[in-house]
Amino acid sequence: MSKPSNLVSALVIACTVALAAPTVALAATGPAPAVVQGKKKHKAKVEAKADKNRVKVGEETKIKGSFADLGGQESVSGGEPVIVQQLKAGVWVDLTTGTCRPNGNFVFSLSFSVRASLTLRVFHPETELYVSAVSSVIGLVVI
C-alpha cells in the first residue's frame, strides 16, 4: 500500500473507533434515566448556507446561519456550540467550532488549500438545554 492509502485507512479506522466508543460506553452503563434533573430539553433548528458554492483554492468563503430555539427558551444567555463539519469517507469530521446564542446568527470563514468537491453541514451537539440539531447539507466546489 502507498503512504496516502495507509493514512486514509488509519483515519477511517480512528474515526470508526471514536464513533463506536460512546455507544459501547453507553451500553455498559445501562439505560439512561427518563428524566434528567427534571428539565425537558428544547428542540432546536440549525440553518446554514455558503455565500458561494464555488471558490478558488485559498479563497475565503463564509458559512452563515442561524440557531433557532423551537421550545420558547427566549431568555437563555450564553452561547450554544455550533460546528462546521465535512463529510470524509462517510464520516462527519469537525472543521471549526464556534458558539451561537439561541435565536441568533453565526458566521464561519473558511478557506481550503486543495481542489475538491466538499460536502459540509453545521451541527449542534446535544447540550443540557437542547437536543442535537443539524443543518441541511451544503455543497462546495473548490477550484
**Architecture per CATH, 38-142:** Sandwich (2.60)
Q: What is the pTM of this model?
A: 0.69
pLDDT tens digits for range 124-141? 999 988 999 999 999 999
pLDDT of residue 15: 47
Count other Cβ atoms within 10 Å, centred on residue 16. 13
Query: Out of 26-30, 43-47, 57-61, which region has the weakest mean confidence (pLDDT)?
Result: 26-30
pLDDT of residue 76: 61
**What is the distance between the alpha carbons of residues 106 and 85, in angstroms, rounded to a whole number?**
15
pLDDT of residue 70: 85
> What is the DSSP annotation of the chain?
--HHHHHHHHHHHHHHHHHHHHHHHHHHH-SPPSSSTT-PPBPEEEEEEES-SEE-TT--EEEEEEEEESS--TT--S-EEEEEEEEETTEEEEEEEEEE-TTEEEEEEE--SS-EEEEEEEEE---SSB--EEPPPEEEEE-
pLDDT tens digits for range 2-24? 455 454 454 445 444 444 444 44
Domain residue limits, the chain: 1-32, 38-142
pLDDT of residue 95: 95
User: Chain centroid to CA 28: how far?
Assistant: 26
pLDDT of residue 36: 43
pLDDT tens digits for range 61-112? 999 999 998 877 655 667 899 999 999 999 999 999 999 998 999 999 999 9
